[in-house]
Copies of this chain bind each other. A is one copy, B any other.
Amino acid sequence: MPKVRVADLSAQLGGELIGAADLIVDRIGPLQSADDTTVSFLAHPRYAAQLESTRAGCVIVSPAHRSKVSHLRSAIVCADPYLAYARLTQWWAREHAPKQPAAGRHPSAVVDDSADVDPTARVEALAVIGRGARVGPGAWVGPHAVIEDEAVLGAHSRLGPRVVLGRGCTVGERCILHAGVVIGADGFGFAAHQGQWEKIEQLGAVRVGDDVEIGANTCVDRGALEDTVIEQGVKLDNLIQIGHNVRIGAHTAMAGCVGVAGSARIGAHCTVGGGAIILGHLELVDHVHVSAATVVTRSIVKPGQYSGVYPFEENASWEKNAATLRQLHGLRDRLRALEKART
């Protein structure tokens, strides 16, 4: 790892440096496991006790903790230490990035003659790019990635290994799609007929806005008639299922294993916890926060935090309570009867 002066870090982050400006750090690390060449950060008051005991050479703290750093060799005071930490990692990653292969295509890639691949883009080994597809400036198409016919990958976007960008689907600029993502498989549409299922061909596509990140093996289905839409700045974690004709508003974030059924409309600036399920044809307004593993069965018209998860406990207690839960409606009636008898 390269070495850097904390004064340079501080300048980079726009913070105020306290202590030894010439101290050299060569690692970013958590307070607990830091050593004297580590730069660390305190972003949550919960970890304030670790600030006292850390051996970090430099800690990024908020103004509220300015008075608590005199025992450290150096500190950087920033208005928002967690944001400063994010930017520090970005700067670090840029500085330490392995040398990128030159623009152009690996000789093993299979690129259709009619595809329009910007000469500044990089197409890795064994990638496949179909007829009429377009790849923007500075884009990176990972090994085994498939860009189907007429699909578009925007400038400076990155497709990880074996991402599939389906026929006619578009991805905006500066997006990151991690390994195994599938954009534009058929939505799940069938009409029942005499006990069997008739396929409804999925004629829409998927449109992904700018600055979207999509986690490994996550799937976004193409629309039935119109497009499935992921607006700008959305962040999806791994193994998420987005059904056909869903619309996810700008800057909404979803943790892993979430499922969103067809035609649901999620607002902007929402968060959805891991494993939550959102049923189809619902609408969630902006600034709705759904707790992990919650099942959203109706539209949500008011911003706020919503939850619905069965509290876990030791199995023996759970069995008793769960069995009683099956009689809950009856218990209510018995309670009513008692109340009535008393009056």
Contact = CB atoms under 8 A, between A and B. Distances in A.
A33 to B, nearest CB: 7
Interface string A180-199: 10100110111111011111
Copies of the polypeptide in the assembly? 3
A266 to B, nearest CB: 15
A146 to B, nearest CB: 5
A50 interface: no
Contacts of A251: 195-197
Interface in A154-197: 160-162, 164, 166-167, 176, 178-180, 182, 185-186, 188-193, 195-197
A57 interface: no
A35 to B, nearest CB: 13
Interface string A265-288: 000010000110101000000000
A237 interface: yes
Interface stretch (A8-16, A68-76, A83-91, A133-141): A83-91
Interface string A63-107: 000000000000000001011011101101100001000000010
A322 B309 contact: yes
A260 to B, nearest CB: 9
Given A199-B90, A200-B85, A292 B314 contact: no
Given A80-B193, A341-B342, A259 B241 contact: no
Q: Which interface residue of A189, A277, A291, A313 has the most chain B CB atoms within 10 A? A: A277
A261 B241 contact: no
Contacts of A189: 86
A273 to B, nearest CB: 8
A209 interface: no
Contacts of A324: 328-329, 331-332
A269 B241 CA distance: 24
A217 B219 contact: yes
A292 B293 contact: no
Interface of A: 28-30, 33, 80, 82-83, 85-87, 89-90, 92-93, 98, 106, 108, 110, 124-126, 128, 131, 143-144, 146, 148-149, 160-162, 164, 166-167, 176, 178-180, 182, 185-186, 188-193, 195-203, 211, 213, 215-217, 219, 221, 224-226, 233, 235, 237-239, 241, 243, 251, 253, 255-257, 259, 261, 269, 274-275, 277, 279, 290-297, 304-315, 317-329, 331-332, 334-335, 338-339, 341-342
A59 to B, nearest CB: 14
Contacts of A85: 191, 200
Given A90-B198, A166-B179, A321-B327, 14 more contacts: A86-B190, A89-B202, A98-B149, A108-B110, A128-B161, A178-B185, A190-B235, A197-B233, A257-B277, A294-B310, A306-B315, A307-B322, A321-B328, A325-B328
Nearest to A112: B125
